[in-house]
Amino acid sequence: MKKKINLIFLLLFFIILPILNAVMDWLSWAMTRLFIRYVYGAPDGAPGVLMVLGLFAANIVVALIFVMALAVLLPIGLETADLLLSIFGREPFEWRHVAAQAVNDPWNEGLFVTGMLLTPLVPTIASMTIGLAALVAPFTPGSANVLAVIPADSTISLQEAETKIAVRGLLLARLWYIPALLIALAVYALIWLLIHLTAAPVADFLHSLALCSTSWSPNGQCPWM
């Protein structure tokens, strides 16, 4: 009996929950790769800037949808595990108490839950970083020289001197990723600050979403019903 209970715990914490989280993260990365394709195809000038900013906004919205999906799927997985544990006379995991901790103290006692829910946002930071760096890459010192030495025909080999110019220019262009990453992080810091200042009930909404997703369980409850 004890071996069966331990097996359920292993399935829960090392297979079920990581897989649920990984699926949402993979979907978030897939959507981000799609957005990045459009970023690289953005036209020059103001239309391109507006297009990239619109893609950033759309990517953030999609990532938030994945966060909400995790708030639904993770409790379902935990509740299912609790029901399996009850069959063997084991006390439930009491995930609802952990979820309440994440609402009341998200960056301390509830950090584990907060971290799992926020992982779908990581790809959006990557997409913003790449997009912003792409916007300012033409302003890299010596970019004109790089364009001049790189042939339009990819089958033509560069001379040694031309290769050095191209490599030096591309390395300098990579430096744009540093301020671009800081700006991307600042965007999320600003979003968090706005939520904090407006007292938007985001945590309460996700908590209620998690509870309602398991209202089918004998122990289920839904604040919206």
- The per-residue pLDDT for range 2-14, each reduced to its tens digit, is 444 455 555 556 6
Number of domains in the chain: 1
* Domain-embedded: residue 47: yes
Query: Does any domain span residue 154?
Result: no
Let me know if residue 102 belongs to a domain: yes
Q: Kindly tell me if the per-residue pLDDT of 194 is higher than 80.
A: yes
Torsion from C-alpha of 204, 206, 209, 215, nearest 10 degrees: -70
**Contact, 94 vs 63, CB < 8 A?**
no
Q: What's the predicted TM-score (pTM) here?
A: 0.74
70 within domain boundaries: yes
Give percent above pLDDT 90 in the chain: 8
Q: Rounded to whole angstroms, how far apart are CA atoms 29 and 196?
A: 27
Structural domain span for residue 209: 2-131+199-213
Q: What band does 1 get if pLDDT is binned at 50, 70 and 90?
A: very low
Of the listed ranges 8-12, 16-20, 73-77, 127-131, the one predicted with least confidence: 8-12
Residue 138 forms part of a structural domain:
no
pLDDT digits (tens, 9 = 90+) for 28-83: 888 888 887 887 777 877 888 888 788 888 888 888 899 999 899 888 888 887 77
Top mean pLDDT of 2-11, 72-81, 87-96, 157-166 is at: 72-81
Closest CA to 99 of 225, 224, 220: 220
User: Given a cut of 90, is residue 182 above it in pLDDT?
Assistant: yes
Report if residue 83 sits inside a domain.
Answer: yes
Q: Are 12 and 107 in contact (CB under 8 A)?
A: no
Percentage with pLDDT > 70 across the chain: 78
Model pLDDT, residue 47:
84
pLDDT of residue 143: 62
Residue 204 falls inside a structural domain: yes
180 within domain boundaries: no
Read off the amino acid at residue 165. I
Structure tokens at 57: 């906004």
Who wins on pLDDT, 185 or 45?
185
